[in-house]
Amino acid sequence: MKEEVGNDDELLYCVDQAVALDGLHLSLLEKTVAERLRPVLIRIADEAAVGNRPVSAGDRVLDSKSQLQFQNSTAELASMLKRRESDT
């Protein structure tokens, strides 16, 4: 995901923190930072939802059932992020 945020030091820090804390806590971010991160998350979630970003655990790519669960979850995430985007 780091390559997706480009040279934005603040977003790179958010990605590093998300990895360190096992999750991205949008509610804890400043609103302006969260809003800059939203289109990146939508793009990644859309790609993952159609299978263009397979999930792995370390060096091991997960089985097809787990991949499908991941795709369904990221489709739901993308939908929620898009709804929120249209609310603002």
Going residue by residue through the chain, which has 88 residues, state the pLDDT in tens, using 9 for 90 and above: 778 888 889 999 988 888 888 888 888 889 999 889 999 999 999 999 998 988 877 788 888 999 999 999 999 999 999 987 666 5
Domain ranges of the chain: 2-87
Q: Which amino acid is at 51?
A: G
The overall pTM is greater than 0.85: no
The Cα–Cα gap between 43 and 73 comes to 14
Which residues neighbour 26 within 8 Å (Cβ) at sequence distance 6 or greater?
34, 37
Sign (positive/negative) of CA torsion 62, 14, 2, 5? positive
pLDDT at 73 (0 to 100) = 93
